[in-house]
Amino acid sequence: MITLYNVPVSSYGSKIRIILDHKQLDWTEIPPPDGYGSGAYKAIIPAGTVPAIDHDGFRLADSEAIAEYLDTVFPTPPMRPDAPQAAASAREISRFHDTRIEPLVRSYFSQVTPANRDAALIAANAALLQTRLDDLAAIAAPAPLMTGDNLAIADCGFVASFTIIALLQDILDLPVTLPPAIATYRESLLAHPDVAGEYARYRAVLDEWAATKLNA
């Protein structure tokens, strides 16, 4: 039995939900008791972060560690290439997303509430985000997905990040444009049958969250 500790708006949590669904695993999701970072949650998951899993008593935090564990224990369908260099390149993309793109995208969450906005911060982060998206286009060669035809761990984090970027372009007029190859990749990824459901859920949750911030 797999229990996923998660909060609905977590982008790293969305990545794990896609993997669990793609592998057709039985899983349930629960919120961290008293919220992430709480003492009650740290008594279960010492890192205090979401997502985390409990798989038959084995507890693990960090989305990349969870993704690789799930792909090892439930290898069908595989979500990492076999060849060492292709596998390493896929991991490079995954890490680039998790360490270079997602934190920057997430840093805008504080800017959604109109009263909190800092025009200088929005502009500086937008320039950096544009650079990192351009870097991604140089690192990756999606065809049509990050490792070819099949959905891979390297794809899964981008679903939430693309959704957040679209929201920010909409409400903050964020001056960021996806490079053409990444825009084409986005279309293929979001249309993938095992992604479309989580994409719709995440978009709805994010829209609801943004509405509360916009009206704050």
Q: Which residues contact ligand GSH by CB under 6 A? A: 10, 12, 36-37, 48-51, 62-64, 98
Give the angle 134-163-148 at the CA atoms, nearest 5°. 60
Helix, strand, or coil (residue 3): strand
Residue 95 or residue 173: which is nearer to ligand GSH going by CB? Answer: 95
Q: Match 């969305």 to its residue by tokens.
A: 14
What's the angle, vertex CA 100, arms to CA 96 and CA 106, rounded to 5?
125
In the chain, the DSSP E strands lie at 2-5, 27-30, 52-55, 58-61
Q: Report angle CA 9, 13, 15 to the nearest 5 degrees.
A: 115
Minimum CB distance to ligand GSH smaller for 65 or for 124: 65
| Identity of the residue, 38 or 177, whose beta carbon is nearer to ligand GSH in the bound complex | 38
Name the residue nearer to ligand GSH (CB basis): 50 or 140. 50
